[in-house]
Structure 1
Amino acid sequence: MDRLKAMHTFIQIAEQGSLTRAADVLDSSLPAVVRALAALEAHLGVRLFHRTTRRISLTEEGRHYLDSAREVLAAADAADRALAVEAAEPAGRLTVTAPVLFGHMYVAPAIVRFLQRHHKVRCSVLLHDRTVNLLEEGIDVGIRISALEDSSLVAQTLGSIRRVVVASPAYLKQHGTPAHPRELLDANCVCLQPGSSAHWAFREQGRPLKIAARGNIDFNHIAPAVEACAAGLGFGNFFSYQVLPMVAQGRLAIVLEDFEPPPRPVSVIYPHARLLPARARAFIEWMKAEFTGLRL
């Protein structure tokens, strides 16, 4: 039984004072109206109307239920109207996650521009360098720099980001520019993992190649590692966006470009849903317009 439809039928019977007239107003058949009323009364376990061959009138329970049914239908109409307004103009809270530095440099400015366009959206931005579970943590949309493995999510690729090896011009002048990744085995490397070594990925003639990079320092955060490389401490392996400002300033130089691994995809991800909120749909389209074709 469609309870809202049954309530609407009940209200029309009460207002028209006749099953036949209610059927006419509802553009329905008399048997259908009778069945809807009978189903509603059976569901409620009470009789809503006194019925005789000549007239129909509300019972005491029916009068109380009439007020409640009108309130329920009015609330349902209000909810429909609110969603229709949101569909026309996105509104409500949106939670977005992204990697820390990429979020700071690229995602946050794009979100600011989005909110300047859509004033009724409230956005919470969560920047993490761990893999965030959108469903468990109640997040609407994420920006991810990696291939999508979670089949419960949808990913739309925005662009790609290179993985690059860099060093300062001063370090390269003193120690030489490597022509092959194996030369890093004898160099000082600034690592991003706890411990004294890390494996850096390369590609040689279409085949993967890994080099055990070693150095006298490692960091658990990108920014100081990049600064250490710029200060001349050694080679570093970073995403291109993390070092491009210093490359542009001449503080770092990219080496071994012919051996770079395939670029990583940058994607906007969100849970599977046929009916995404308008604010989420609008944000996804905004990010696609902002970043599609991104090559860093």
Structure 2
Amino acid sequence: MDRLKAMATFVRIVDTGSLSAAAEASGQSAASVVRSLAALEKHLGVRLLNRNTRRLALTDEGLEFLAWSRRMLSEFDEIEHSFDARRHSPGGLLRLTAPVEFGRRYVAPLVNAFLAQHPAMRIELILLDRMADLLEEGLDLAIRIGQLPDSSMVATPLGRTRYVVCASPDYLRHQEVLQSPSALHRHACIVLVPHCREWHFLDRGRAISEAVPVRLATNQVHVARLACLQGVGIARLLHYQIAGELADGRLVRLLQAFEPADVPVQMVYPHSRLLSPRVRLFIDWMAERLGPQIPDPGA
């Protein structure tokens, strides 16, 4: 039994004054209305209406249930109208996470632009370099770089990036030319913890790893990038993190022939069906604008 429908049918019977009038008003057959009322009374275990061929009379339980039904149906209409309004003008809180450096560079400016265009929206942007559990931490979506470990997640592709080895021209002026990953042991290296001593490459399609000597270890991308720019050593960073410095010559790209495969940049969320209007709006808006800003790592 559809209890909400049965409740609405009961209220319509009372309002119209008869089973036949309720059937006509709702577009149902009289028999269907009778079955609905009988099923509702059986489910509740009480008689709601005393009826004969000429009139209907509410029982005490019927009076009580009628008042409660009107209140419930009214509240249901209100929430239904509220959701309908949100579909046309979404509002409310959206919680998302992104990697720290990527979030600073690309996500935060677009979040600000989104909020300017959608005054009914509120956003909580959490920048983390760990893989947050969306369901456990109450997040609506995440922007992630890399393959998804959880196949139950839904992903919207945004772009791609890859790990790039680089150094400043000043550093390279005083060092031998780096011809292959195996020569890294003769250089000073700047690493991001916890990915310390192992750098990964592709050599003619074969995955290889090289242990590198650590001159500087840090957990912050901007610290590693600054050290690289100032000639401390060679760094291995994601392309988007140094695309500007490569383009203007402040950093030089090394070992390009050995770079590993691209990694995807994706928007990730727990499900695709019945997404709230605010989440769907943000996903569509962000996908259109964020993707084109991510530098092409193959260029």
* Same fold (TM > 0.5): yes
Q: Distance in 2 between matches of 1:89 and 1:270?
A: 21
Runs of 4+ in 1 over 4 A off after TM superposition: none
Hey, what does 1:66 align to over in structure 2?
A: 66
Contact map agreement 1:167 1:252 (CA 8 A) in 2: yes
| Number of residue pairs aligned between Structure 1 and Structure 2 | 295
Q: Offset at 1:201? A: 1.1
Q: Distance in 1 between matches of 2:150 and 2:291?
A: 22
Q: Distance in 1 between matches of 2:71 and 2:193?
A: 61
Q: Offset at 1:248? A: 4.4
| Correspondence 1:274 to 2:273 | yes
Structure 2 unaligned regions, length at least 5: none
Q: 1:215-226 residue pairs with structure 2 within 5 A?
A: 215-226=214-225
Q: Distance in 1 between matches of 2:24 and 2:216?
A: 83
Hey, what does 1:113 align to over in structure 2?
A: 113
Amino acid at match of 1:111: V
Structure 1 unaligned regions, length at least 5: none
Q: Distance in 2 between matches of 1:52 and 1:283?
A: 57
Q: TM-score, normalised by structure 2?
A: 0.94
Q: Offset at 1:176? A: 3.0
SS at match of 1:67: helix
Residue deviations 1:236-268 (CA, integer Å, cap 9, x gap): 111112223433454322211121111111011
Q: TM-score, normalised by structure 1?
A: 0.94
Q: Distance in 2 between matches of 1:194 and 1:100?
A: 15
Fraction of identical pairs, as percent? 43
SS at match of 1:132: coil
Q: Distance in 2 between matches of 1:60 and 1:75?
A: 23
Q: 1:180-219 residue pairs with structure 2 within 5 A?
A: 180-193=180-193, 198-219=197-218
Q: Distance in 1 between matches of 2:149 and 2:242?
A: 27
Q: Distance in 1 between matches of 2:205 and 2:100?
A: 31
Hey, what does 1:174 align to over in structure 2?
A: 174
Amino acid at match of 2:97: T
Q: Which moved more, 1:206-215 or 1:2-11?
A: 206-215
Q: Offset at 1:158? A: 0.9
Amino acid at match of 1:109: P
**TM-align CA RMSD:** 1.6
Q: Distance in 1 between matches of 2:17 and 2:86?
A: 38
Q: Which moved more, 1:182-191 or 1:243-252?
A: 243-252
Q: Distance in 2 between matches of 1:101 and 1:115?
A: 21
Q: Distance in 2 between matches of 1:230 and 1:179?
A: 21
Contact map agreement 1:181 1:256 (CA 8 A) in 2: yes
SS at match of 2:212: strand
Hey, what does 1:244 align to over in structure 2?
A: 243
Q: Distance in 2 between matches of 1:108 and 1:176?
A: 40
SS at match of 1:269: strand
